[in-house]
Structure 1
């Protein structure tokens, strides 16, 4: 019956989210697994292209909610970045730039060797530079990790994200120009999008702290106001086809350096942030079609191995000169393994300019699927091995 099917679809998302939360809590408590790995596994199994429990993830509403959830995590992620540390330790910046450039070059050559087109190879290489802030922040918050490996992971991931978005947008501009022949459209999807997104984020980072100080509510309402500002930023960038990723990153960085304090008790922006985060990781995995992932499995696995080995080699080589042991350098590289949430949402945003790269980059779908489950586990293992997450967080 069509009515019964429609009713079932209406209940699908709440039911799957409750199932994912329940299994995530059980796996975390009894097996020590990261909750988000279980969320992703449930989302993938229940996806429209797998068991068919969830409706298609291509709807505007669910994509906007996923971007809001990611925006909140990105803001919290950027808020923890201290740009002064990069100035005090320039080797950290050199290490990050070298690692990103070498990863780009190695993945590009690998993709060409597997028979990918030049454009697809460039896109794969650009996205392989990135590290998913969503997974890293959630694992750090869950384990309450702190220390040199944790801070380096955060700062290098931030640098990777900015570089990946910048290079990806430039290549996307070329793709738009090739498909449409319009220089104006190409510029809008690359240079204009990047500049406007960063500008909107920086402006919000100046305005919100000033508003809080004017109302003398910097301690009580900082998290609420910042969350509302993130929602507004995501909606605004979504409407104008800008980059919500760059806008929320810039917002978080500016807010941090305007000296507004967010209470530690409000990690993940409270219960609402946790709910949106749960939906995000279910959504990301549900966006991956197993048939597309299977088609790109060979190159996807090779891409992950190349990315990990390149990253580990560079970060370990620079570890002593940048102030840590080789072991901590290697563990930092492992902690930076997650990729999926950042890449999938960035690719989903290309639909706004009329290009569907999600289905075209099968190797990236395969890599995202593997790392959606394994990435958080590797991050958790690296932080625990480094001795920076002493809590078993049973009280969470």
Structure 2
């Protein structure tokens, strides 16, 4: 007969306990501190990950990973749906701003890592991942604070450019590593270029197919939330089965669906209660993957990386703010709002495990930087959008 302790250590009970704890801390902490709930979910996840042998689930648990990827897929779909490609064509300076700040971030972080004594491959990976901005954190803050305005829209579009560029460069670096390790050109190409193309195409097919199906079934206003949620879950499952990129596929799905003229109503933001629940799992689980020993080992370089990365983004976005039709003040606030990185980086690294390498184990500075920005990043975005006067909850306070 199982003991009482063995019965409660199971994942089946562990995850409900962890989600309940994270939600309670997030709600109470948000009311006391006004910090974003996702920062508090992450705090719970990180602390619980250090309590080994307790009633809570362990790191690497398949249930947590599945919930995290489904949640991230839903957020990326909505994130892609908010991007207007016509705006980038109308205002090419905005695209130039994204290219400038992403490229400058890559070069500065690479130089910093090499000066710190990091190997070339490690420096390239750090630089590629530092280009990104976490769409999950940005979307949660924007939706939670009900933000709208010029800074918010520029933030979303620049974050999307950052993500695409970061995924592209990261896959190229991983392909280079695969070629160096195996000497197999096909293995290198299949782990980079083919993954990018296939993921984007798969997401585009979903983006074309779902609107057509909804039009065939009738009015989309009642059923589109459930239909798109089911489609995203299916898309994430397919990408995992074929070792593609769920990040790029879900983003492409949202982009194409937007331009097929399917309209999501205000009540469908965040995918309602389903999205709220899965967000708790997402930010809790990703913080659980960060181990204290990794954080301590890379803390020095991580602090320098976080400061330089933020400085580069603020300077670059501010420098081109007037040319792109904004003010320098709004440019600086947009650059600050690009601070979050964590969820995007952790899930992107997790997708490389099928290559037989745990990159997060080799990138201790990235683990430390990710932990810092897991807590601080959403709060910085929140404060920047508040300073821009684009948060509706300020008007209701």
Task: Sort the TM-score into its range (normalised by shorter chain).
Answer: over 0.9
The equivalent of 2:40 in structure 1 is 38
Query: Which region of structure 1 is more displaced relative to structure 2, 177-186 or 218-227?
Result: 177-186
Deviation digits for residues 166-221 of structure 1, max 9, x if unmatched? 00001101111222222222111101111100000000000000000011131111
Consecutive unaligned residues of structure 1, counting only runs of 5 or more, are none
The equivalent of 1:318 in structure 2 is 320
The equivalent of 1:7 in structure 2 is 8
**How has the CA–CA distance of structure 1 residues 393 and 62 changed in structure 2, closer, same or farther, with 3 Å as cutoff?**
farther
Deviation at residue 8 of structure 1 after TM alignment: 2.4
Residues 339 and 372, structure 1, Cα contact 8 Å, conserved in 2: yes
2:392 corresponds to 1:357: no
Rounded Cα–Cα distance in structure 1 between residues aligned with 2:255 and 2:34: 32
**TM-score w.r.t. length of structure 1:** 0.97
Deviation digits for residues 247-270 of structure 1, max 9, x if unmatched? 000000000000101111122111
**TM-score w.r.t. length of structure 2:** 0.96
2:122 corresponds to 1:120: yes
Given candidates 149, 152, 156, the residue that maps to 2:151 is 149
SS in 1 for 2:362: coil
Rounded Cα–Cα distance in structure 1 between residues aligned with 2:355 and 2:221: 40
The equivalent of 1:286 in structure 2 is 288
The equivalent of 2:340 in structure 1 is 338
SS in 2 for 1:358: helix
Rounded Cα–Cα distance in structure 1 between residues aligned with 2:66 and 2:26: 24
Rounded Cα–Cα distance in structure 2 between residues aligned with 1:316 and 1:52: 48
**How has the CA–CA distance of structure 1 residues 27 and 350 changed in structure 2, closer, same or farther, with 3 Å as cutoff?**
same
Residues 50 and 292, structure 2, Cα contact 8 Å, conserved in 1: no
Rounded Cα–Cα distance in structure 2 between residues aligned with 1:254 and 1:39: 31
Residues 293 and 369, structure 1, Cα contact 8 Å, conserved in 2: yes
The alignment of Structure 1 onto Structure 2 pairs a total of residues equal to 395
The equivalent of 1:134 in structure 2 is 136
Rounded Cα–Cα distance in structure 1 between residues aligned with 2:171 and 2:51: 29
Given candidates 309, 313, 318, the residue that maps to 1:307 is 309
Query: Which region of structure 1 is more displaced relative to structure 2, 50-59 or 131-140?
Result: 50-59
Cα RMSD of the aligned pairs, angstroms, is: 1.6
Rounded Cα–Cα distance in structure 2 between residues aligned with 1:51 and 1:312: 43
SS in 1 for 2:96: helix
The equivalent of 1:185 in structure 2 is 187
The equivalent of 2:217 in structure 1 is 215
Given candidates 38, 60, 63, the residue that maps to 2:62 is 60
Deviation at residue 61 of structure 1 after TM alignment: 3.4
Please give the residue correspondences for 1:129-278 in structure 2 after superposition, counting only pairs within 5 Å.
Answer: 129-278=131-280
SS in 1 for 2:284: helix
Please give the residue correspondences for 1:50-129 in structure 2 after superposition, counting only pairs within 5 Å.
Answer: 54-129=56-131
Residues 59 and 288, structure 2, Cα contact 8 Å, conserved in 1: yes
Consecutive unaligned residues of structure 2, counting only runs of 5 or more, are none
Deviation at residue 48 of structure 1 after TM alignment: 4.8
SS in 2 for 1:145: coil
Query: Which region of structure 1 is more displaced relative to structure 2, 375-384 or 14-23?
Result: 14-23
Residues 9 and 56, structure 2, Cα contact 8 Å, conserved in 1: no
Rounded Cα–Cα distance in structure 2 between residues aligned with 1:393 and 1:186: 53
